[in-house]
Amino acid sequence: MTLPQFTYLAPTSLEEACDLLREHQGKIKIKAGGTDMIVRLSHRAVKPDYLMGIKKITGLDKISYDAKSGLTIGALALLRDVEIDPDVLEHAPMLARAARATATVQIRNMGTVMGNVCNASPSADNIPTLVAMNAVIIASNGKKEREIPIDEFFLGPGRSALEADEIATAIRVPATSAATGTSYQKISARSKVDIAAVNIGALVTLDSAKKCSAVRISMGAVGPTPLRGAKAETYLLGKEINDKTLAEAGRLAAEDASPISDVRATREYRKLMVEVLTTRALDEAAGLAAA
């Protein structure tokens, strides 16, 4: 495998990295774990003049939890780190499940959750649960930070809301109550390590009467960006989660999906799997919320 020629940059601070982004705007790409970038380089999908590795920037690999601000996952936290981290397993176990569902253990020991997010692939494993949990992306230009709601982060395949001089430094996931459950469901054509044909993230909060008081449904690989199951969400509010309401929510979610046919699955199969996986995800999330 040969790569196109580029100059490799290895800044040691966030400020230096953002200065390099400004200096070489339009001619530079960022590498964290490199599991996506190296493949894109080898296929000549990108041909940057400069490749900037950010591994030497300290402090970006931390995972922490605070009862008020929730879970914070640094940009350099590996998929494997998220998969096994005690705070993630206790407070956001479906994020660990999504990380574990990503590729192989060798890739998870190199790749990062943030890289999976910033790659902005419609089929990324880690995005649906983050969308369902209403995560926020923290971005910095070296001088100031801003928060980007994850619903506003994805602009199209491979395109995000990051400015040219910004680096995504962390993912913040709000804390949830004991009455809230989440789920991640995925189906792929060949095996669990394959790219998802469809993946679904769901969050359900139940009130004291065991009726749905909040719900978020995120659908992956069925549109150019992660899609919300808006019709299903509206339908479920104020209702009990049972076989009848689950079936109708799955049907409505499939209506909001806009998949295409490709080498991984047909449009019709994806529509059907949205219905099936949404039902499963909502059922699991509601069961965990009621536990």
Q: Is the pLDDT of residue 190 over 90?
A: no
Q: Is the pLDDT of residue 291 over 90?
A: no
Residue % of the chain over a pLDDT of 70: 98
Q: Is the pLDDT of residue 243 over 70?
A: yes
Q: What is the pLDDT at residue 189? A: 73
Q: Is the pLDDT of residue 194 over 90?
A: no
**CA atoms lying within 13 Å on the CB side of residue 6:** 24
User: In this predicted structure, which of 45-54, 181-190, 271-280 has the lowest mean pLDDT?
Assistant: 181-190
Q: Are strands 7-9 and 50-53 parallel, antiparallel or unpaired?
A: parallel
Q: Is the pLDDT of residue 1 over 90?
A: no
Q: What is the pLDDT at residue 281? A: 98
Q: Domains in the chain, start-ordered, CATH in brackets?
A: 7-53 (3.30.43), 63-173 (3.30.465.10), 180-290 (3.30.390.50)
Q: Is the pLDDT of residue 192 over 70?
A: no
Band (pLDDT 50/70/90 cuts) for residue 76 is very high
Residues 169-182 pLDDT 10s: 999 999 999 999 99
Query: Over the chain, what is the mean pLDDT?
Result: 96
